[in-house]
Chains A and B, each alone.
Chain A
Amino acid sequence: MRNILTAGFFIVFLSAAAQCAAEPWQKLTPQQQQALAPLSTEWDKLSDPQKKRLLAVAKRYPQLTPAAQQRMQQRLTLWSKLTPEQRKAAREKYRAFSNIPPEQREAVKQMVKQPAATTPNGSVSGVPSTTAKPSQ
Chain B
Amino acid sequence: MTTKLDPDKITRILNQSIRKLDDETLSSLQQSRAKALQSQAAPVRMLRFAGNNLTHSLLPHSARQWVTITMLALALAVGANLWWQHHHEQQIDELDVAILTDELPIELFID
Contacts and interface: CB of A to CB of B under 8 A. Distances in A.
A126 to B, nearest CB: 20
Contact of B96 (A1, A5, A53, A112): A53
Interface residues of B, number: 26
Interface string B49-79: 0000000000000000000100110010011
Interface size class of A (residues with CB under 8 A): 35 or more
Interface string A62-87: 00100011011001101100100011
Nearest to B74: A9
A11 to B, nearest CB: 10
Interface of B: 68, 71-72, 75, 78-79, 82, 89, 92-93, 95-106, 108-111
Interface of A: 1-2, 5, 8-9, 12, 16, 53, 56-57, 60, 64, 68-69, 71-72, 75-76, 78-79, 82, 86-87, 89-91, 93-95, 97-98, 108-109, 112-113
